[in-house]
Structure 1
């Protein structure tokens, strides 16, 4: 578990509570204590785990968040529109380093997405070598024709414009127009393109799980903090 030792103004700034220039005023307004003793000196060096604000412990030094992404939320820092980060508390949006999504979901796709300010973790889980499984609930425009499960599991399906076939994927039929699909890659619009390749169209896409995490019990637009990896 991380427990940084740094100046209180720098630490509060990195966690998004205030900027370094605002720290002196912040210490006057809020009861910031180190081991129960209130501090006013912005130069004082502190350990993360020793600090409280108004008797509450600080947010984790490194955040890992599981969100049930709502439709319309955009996984970007730069695009216009309703950004996924606006769902988070304001101070989390001011953290340094920034919180970023681990991979992306299309704007109209809902479900499980992880966000973190841990760059090493983000890189590890988005690497093509990570082999992290993603489970989707797929709603289709047309009824399934019957051979999709075999085609997806074959490891030979080649998407349009690509030279390397997809890795084997597992499909489970829920109804004639609803299936669960488990993949271990994250190619561009992969699920939609897979069903397009077999003559169908995805009309709704919900990611049920990412790796060992799923969004059961988390409402759309809600999230929870996960333990460090």
Structure 2
């Protein structure tokens, strides 16, 4: 394994023999010297960092789990990412009919930090409802007493507000990650979610990423994930 990828020594030697490895100045490697990863390129591209964390704008129709039927979010990424060891895991899955911000990482500690309820990392969702809000739903969400069907423990306090004049466009802010939580919470107050989009995790948003686009996170991005949480403590 090298730089987060599984490869046999023979495969690595094959890359050198085929001229696929070069230095940043364009010099093609002809042997197996000890070179800093930052100076290497594979197929003309800089090597991916290890560990690797990326942000993806998931379109509707893609699934986050290999156990679910349908096109995988991994299909939106370079094929080489499937060979990483440890594998890239989704930090907070979205269902097939939900679009928006997905974080993927092979950093186990970071993954746990993002999804742990103790960290209280807030997620912002934008939803289109079948019917306008009645007016009492925000108080119910904020009360910490709303219990979902089939569960015994009530949801933690969450934010809900209308963002359109007709009351059908709403924003929901959660610090939990229960199964289909936004849809189920709104169903519990007598409404139905027609479209759902995750716009933000912590202080990180999609920026200019279009559906299906992705990019590796910078150190500033990683800090932004927890920025809003820190500001509230």
User: Given the two structures, how large is their TM-score scaled by the length of structure 2?
Assistant: 0.84
* 1:195 aligned counterpart, secondary structure: helix
Partner deviation per Cα, 1:113-169 (whole Å, 9 max, x = no partner) = 101111111122112212110000011111111111111111111112222211111
Distance 2:24 2:194 in 1: 55
Larger % of helix: which?
2
Q: Any gaps of 5 or more consecutive residues in structure 2?
A: 223-233
* Alpha-carbon distance, 1:21 to partner: 3.2
Match of 1:154 among 123, 143, 157: 143
Whether 1:205 and 2:167 are equivalent positions in the alignment is no
Whether 1:61 and 2:50 are equivalent positions in the alignment is yes
Match of 1:30 among 15, 19, 24: 19
Distance 1:225 1:50 in 2: 18
* 1:151 aligned counterpart, secondary structure: helix
* Alpha-carbon distance, 1:46 to partner: 4.2
CA RMSD for the aligned pairs? 2.1
Distance 1:59 1:203 in 2: 38
Whether 1:75 and 2:64 are equivalent positions in the alignment is yes
Q: Any gaps of 5 or more consecutive residues in structure 1?
A: 1-9
Equivalent pair of 2:54/2:215 in contact (CA under 8 Å) = yes
Distance 2:8 2:68 in 1: 25
Whether 1:177 and 2:177 are equivalent positions in the alignment is no
* Alpha-carbon distance, 1:216 to partner: 3.1
* Alpha-carbon distance, 1:109 to partner: 0.3
* Alpha-carbon distance, 1:34 to partner: 6.1
Distance 2:145 2:13 in 1: 62
* Alpha-carbon distance, 1:24 to partner: 1.6
* Alpha-carbon distance, 1:75 to partner: 0.3
Partner deviation per Cα, 1:17-75 (whole Å, 9 max, x = no partner) = x6543222211222534686754445x54432343346643111221111110001110
Distance 1:77 1:27 in 2: 33
Distance 2:129 2:19 in 1: 53
Distance 1:185 1:207 in 2: 13
Whether 1:227 and 2:218 are equivalent positions in the alignment is yes
How many residue pairs get aligned? The number is: 217
